[in-house]
């Protein structure tokens, strides 16, 4: 989902993105096996070459002991299918439980929160609902004053531009005020081609006077 698809910033910040890596790192797997007592069972099987599960246990231990290896779980590959079958075999043999198998496979899932650090300012820009406040130019600079502290953000400096050939009006972002958060005054440069144009600034937090 894109930022603008959410109804509120809180919803966007809480959004979980779950990515299937389709593999489990050897270190992750070994830690899981050790913490759940599975490693000991695998070692016992590996110590007996006559055990019908010897090859399986040996392969798991060797892979989990190699820092550069991983257990592939991509079902479109023979390796991935083989590892999934091996996991079920371990369940059927009582080496681990079905719940532990699910927990093991879940290690291949990576959860991130792509919008957790987005600001209300960024959210309103994405939604196209930013309140613009007109401001004046002072000697080639645009100046704003804030009367209330707010979330740190970088409000855009917007210029109203009228195309002399079509008489159509557009609004261009020409600069940004940076790190606006404290009660203070802030300025930014107005490039020469926009001197004399009507200027506006984002006022998402209603703090600009």
Enter the tokens of residue 138. 């002072």
Which are the contacts of 171, defined by CB distance < 8 A and separation ≥ 6?
132, 158, 159, 160, 161, 200
- pLDDT tens-digit map of 157-171: 999 999 889 999 999
- pLDDT tens-digit map of 121-158: 999 999 999 999 999 898 899 999 999 999 999 999 99
Enter the tokens of residue 132. 């613009």
Residue 4 pLDDT exceeds 90: yes
The enclosing H or E element of 195 equals none
Residue 182 pLDDT exceeds 90: yes
Q: Where are the domains of the chain?
A: 17-112, 130-202
Rounded CA gap, 105 and 98, in Å? Answer: 11
Rounded CA gap, 56 and 49, in Å? Answer: 11
Q: What is the pLDDT at residue 164?
A: 86
Q: What is the pTM of this model?
A: 0.74
């Amino acid at each position: 989902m894109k930022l603008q698809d959410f109804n509120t910033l809180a919803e966007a910040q809480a959004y979980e993105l779950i990515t299937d890596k389709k593999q489990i790192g050897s270190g992750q797997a070994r830690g899981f096996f050790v913490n759940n007592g599975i490693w000991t069972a695998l070692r016992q099987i590996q110590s007996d070459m006559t055990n019908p599960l010897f090859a399986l246990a040996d392969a798991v231990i060797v892979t989990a002991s190699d820092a550069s290896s991983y257990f592939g779980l991509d079902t479109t590959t023979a390796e991935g299918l083989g590892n999934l079958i091996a996991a079920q075999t371990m369940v059927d043999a009582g080496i681990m439980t079905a719940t532990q198998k699910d927990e093991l496979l879940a290690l291949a899932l990576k959860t991130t929160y792509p919008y957790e650090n987005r600001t209300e300012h960024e959210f309103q820009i994405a939604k196209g609902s930013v309140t613009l406040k007109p401001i004046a130019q002072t000697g080639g600079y645009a100046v704003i004053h804030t009367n209330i502290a707010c979330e740190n953000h970088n409000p855009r400096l917007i210029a109203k531009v009228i195309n002399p050939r079509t008489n159509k009006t557009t609004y261009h972002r020409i600069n940004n005020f940076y790190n606006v958060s404290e009660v203070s005054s802030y300025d930014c440069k107005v490039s020469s081609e926009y001197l004399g144009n009507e200027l506006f600034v984002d006022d998402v937090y209603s703090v600009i006077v």
